[in-house]
Structure formats: C-alpha cells, structure tokens
Amino acid sequence: MKPIAPSLRRVQTPEEIYRARILIAMTVTLASVLELVDTSIVNVAVPHMMGSLGATLDEITWVSTGYVVANVIVLPISSWLANWFGRRNYFALSIMLFVFSSFMCGNADTLGGLVFWRIVQGLGGGGLISTAQATLFETFPPEEAGTGMAIFGLGIMTGPMLGPTLGGYITDAASWPWIFYINIPLGAIALLLALMYVPEQKFGSRAEEVDFAGLLLLTISIGCLQTMLERGGKLDWWASREIIAYAMTSVSAMALFVWNELRHPHPIVDLRILKNGQFAVSLVFGFVVGAALFSVVFVFPVYAQTLIGFTAWDTGMAVLPGAIASGVTMAIVGKMIPKLKVDLRLLVVMGGLIFAYSMWSHSLFTVQSGADDFFWPMVLRGVGLGMVFIPLNNLALGDLPPQQIAPASGLYALLRQLGGSVGIASSATLFSQFQESNRGEMLHHISQFTDAATHRLAQLEQLMRSHGHSEAVSHQKALMLLDGMLRKQAAMLAFEHLFLAFGVMMLAALPLLLLMRRSQFNRQGPVADH
C-alpha cells in the first residue's frame, strides 16, 4: 500500500507531486497567510510604536504604507521573478527575506529602520500569493482543483481578519516587537515545507534580458498610486498638492509603462494576456471582490470596537464564524463544480446575491447589537464570498494557456489588492462624509424648543448635578454628552450606509458576467496525465 505523501525529501516526479498535493496547498497557504496577516497586524500596535520610537501618527503610518507599497509592486512581476530564479527557489527566497526582515523589524529602535525593514518585508511577501496560486493550478488535477483553492481561499479570507486580533493579543500579552517575531518560527516551518514540497513550474522560460525600464516605471506608478490611496484621507484628497502630484506621476508612469511593455521583446509584465476578454473582465470583477472583502474587514472592526465596545479579541471571535463558513463553502463548491458541470457564472451570481443580502443584514446593526446579532450575517457573508471566490478564479484563469497562468495570477492578485486599497480608502472618506451629513441632519431636529431634546438635556443636567457639579458646569457637560450621543448615532448611520454600499457594489458588478462566456470547470490540469 503506497503512502499518502512522499518521504521527507524534495518531491520531483508527477506522481510524488500528486500525492503531496494537500501538503503543497497547506505550505503555500501558510506562507500566504503570514503575508496577509502582516498587512494589518501592526494597526493595533500603532500607539505602542509611537511611544517607543517617538514618532507622530503621520510618521508611523509609513510602517503600514511602506509594506503595502512594496507588496503591490512585486505582485505583477512575481511570475517574471519565478522564471528568473525558478519557482521553488523564488518562493523559498521570498520566505527567507520575509522572515529575516521580520526579525529586523522587531529589533528596530528607530522609525527609519522600522520603515526600511517593513519595505523589505513587503518585497519578500509580495511574491507569495500569486506564486502560491499558480502553484496550485499546476499541482491539482481539474476534478480536485476546488479542494486546493478552498484551502488557499480560507487563508485569503481569514488572513486580513486575523491580523488585528492577533496583533492586539500579542501586543497586550508581550510587546509590539513580538508581532514580528511570531513570523520567525512559522516562517521557518513554511520554508522547510517549501524546500521539500513546492515543485518547479512546468511552464514559462527565463527572459534573455531584464526589462529595467519597465521595472522602474511600474515601481513609480504603483508606488505613487498606493501611497496616494494610503494618505489621501489624511490629506483631504484633491485639496492637497501632494496627492495631486502622486496622481499625475502615477498616471504618467503607467502610460509609459504600457507603451514600454507592448514594444519590449521580453516585458517584465506580459500585458498581451489582456487580449483574452474573459480574463480582462475577470480582473474588473476581482477588483470589486477585493474592494468588498477588504472594506468589510476594515469597517466592521471599527464599528465593533468604537460603538459596541468590543476588544480586538471579541472582534476576532465575532468574524470567525464567517471565516469558517467561507472555508467550508469553498470546499463544498470545489467538490461540487466538476460533478454537476454547472455554469460558473451562475454560482458567482448566487454568491453575489447572498453577499448583498448579508450586507443588508449588516445595515440593521445598532449600537446595542451583540455577538448573537452578528452570527448569521457573518455566516452569510462568508458563504457569499466563498461561492464567488473559486468560480471567479476559474473564470479568470481556467481558459488561459498554461504558460500564461503564472503572470495572469500576478495581475489578478494585484487588481484584488488594489481593489482592497481603493475600497478601504473610499470607506474611510465616505464614513467621515456620512457621519457629518447625518449629524447635520439630526441637528435640524434638535433645538431648545424640541420636547424630546429638552427632556433629555434636563435628565443629563440632573445627572451631572448629582455628581456634585455646579449648575453652569452641569449644563456644559450635559451639552457635551448630548453631542457625543449625536455623534455616536451619526456614526452608526454612517456604518449602515457603508454596509449597504458594499452590497450595492457587488450587485453592480454582476452584469459584468454577461461579458464572459458560459464556462464550466474545464481546465486541463498539468497533472491530468497522472
């Protein structure tokens, strides 16, 4: 009887790769989760970093911005780098760079040092997701591809959610450097497994020359765009000359980059893939899915912790049912598709509708909502995204020639990441606008002549006097409390509007499916000959 997995040595033959497919999926997913967790894990440790490094809030944001900018720059060129170094070597080098820079981040005693090593960490982590996805597409046969994508998708869904929760727990239990040190043992495990199990790519060839101009232009364009998205809300967007400069530089560099790539014999990003209309439309849909996923992941913890009073751990436990539901759904969908031969677009529509319904359920949350109120909306959210993830991946990549899977995975991951960045930036801006608009609307109905307002103000004044304050002080404190209540209600209404907007955004993207061909799970797997 053959063992279910090869011995602890490097897998090479197609039979060994097939037998190790689950371990390969778990290996690339572990590395991807480390990368995604570090995108958001530092957010809850910001106050501690500011005190330790003597940095202002505006300065400390570069700890997050530098990582994300480096991350998105590497995504579209990861296929080229994998061809240059070999996929297995590139994946292992990325993990090594990620782990080493994590150690240096924890040891940093200056803001400049921390930002520098966060950029290096982003360069190491950027190649993990797209390389992981391309590896799974080559490892699993068509009838089992759903299983591999379900394992990977669970990591993609839970990674951004686990970051703040894990970061808050580690910061409270130890200190902020440990949010980086935790990567060392987990990264070492991922590296060992990668060296043993991650196979070399079967398609793609090393470029004869390096497209330095394309690399420079892409770095400038994506770097400026991501920096603009990260800082736009703080600088009041187009009222800031800095933001306008970022936008103009990004657009100009991108135009030159496209021109360079279309005429270069060995482009660092093969834009000719966009001739495939199915893939091009899927990029737009992937952008929307990324915006919806990352925006909800960003907005819900803010709502739970500012209005409900949840801790980071409470918030993590609240979103956990949705993450589990997403993973279970993806496993079921992955197993079901090859057997039922359903039109993948139908599954995407069903998932989009379920997600939109869950967002409507989110919009019914109040300042008195609790964990029980969150359970089913979270589960529905996970089910909806789980039903969209695998079919959309196959619609995007399933009909491409094998040699284009790796570069297409990089572009697809980039658009999903940029969708998340745009979604988060837009959510932050819209929240402020919604809150002020709602507050102004409520103020129109509150005056000294309104019975309800007068009665409530009198109650608050009496409460203040019972605590020993004078009449004048009690009146001022009562007004402040009343204003705080108004702001809280205005914030709640703003969150409700945002949740509804996320659902509408998903519904608005569904007509894009009409531009795609009727498609089933028909990819010709590289290991189909096994």
Same domain for 94 and 64? yes
Report yes or no on 530 lying in a domain.
no
Predicted pLDDT of residue 454: 67
Give the C-alpha separation, 182 to 173, whole Å: 13
DSSP annotation of 232:
T
Same domain for 306 and 452? no
Predicted pLDDT of residue 446: 66
Report yes or no on 527 lying in a domain.
no
Report yes or no on 529 lying in a domain.
no
Same domain for 125 and 40? yes
Same domain for 499 and 487? no
Predicted pLDDT of residue 482: 65
Question: Model's pTM, two decimal places?
Answer: 0.78
Contact 42, 63 (CB under 8 A): yes
Report yes or no on 359 lying in a domain.
yes
Predicted pLDDT of residue 447: 58
Same domain for 400 and 456? no
Report yes or no on 193 lying in a domain.
yes
Report yes or no on 476 lying in a domain.
yes
Predicted pLDDT of residue 252: 95
Report yes or no on 216 lying in a domain.
yes
Same domain for 189 and 258? no
Give the C-alpha separation, 26 to 47, whole Å: 34
Same domain for 45 and 186? yes
Same domain for 99 and 219? no
Residue span of the structural domain in which 56 resides: 1-207
Same domain for 221 and 201? no
The enclosing domain of 60 has a CATH number of: 1.20.1250.20
Predicted pLDDT of residue 218: 86
**Number of domains into which the chain is organized:** 4
Predicted pLDDT of residue 479: 64
Same domain for 348 and 202? no
Same domain for 43 and 118? yes
Give the C-alpha separation, 288 to 188, whole Å: 34
> Which of 240, 267, 294 is the C-terminal boundary of a domain?
267
Report yes or no on 528 lying in a domain.
no
Same domain for 193 and 321? no
Distances, alpha carbon 49 to alpha carbons 111, 117, 354, 355, 450, in Å? 9, 15, 40, 36, 47
One digit per residue, the tens of pLDDT, for the chain of length 530 reads: 444 444 445 666 777 777 778 888 888 888 888 888 887 777 667 777 878 888 776 677 778 778 877 887 888 888 788 888 888 889 999 999 999 999 999 998 888 899 899 999 989 988 887 788 778 877 888 777 767 777 787 777 667 666 767 777 787 788 889 989 999 999 999 999 888 888 877 665 665 677 888 888 988 998 888 788 877 877 878 888 999 999 999 999 999 999 998 888 878 888 888 888 888 889 998 898 888 887 887 788 888 878 888 876 777 778 878 878 887 888 788 777 777 677 888 999 999 999 999 999 999 999 889 888 999 999 999 899 888 888 888 888 877 787 787 788 878 888 888 888 788 778 878 888 888 887 777 767 665 556 666 666 666 667 676 766 676 666 666 667 766 677 888 889 999 999 999 999 999 999 998 888 766 555 444 333 33
Contact 378, 319 (CB under 8 A): yes
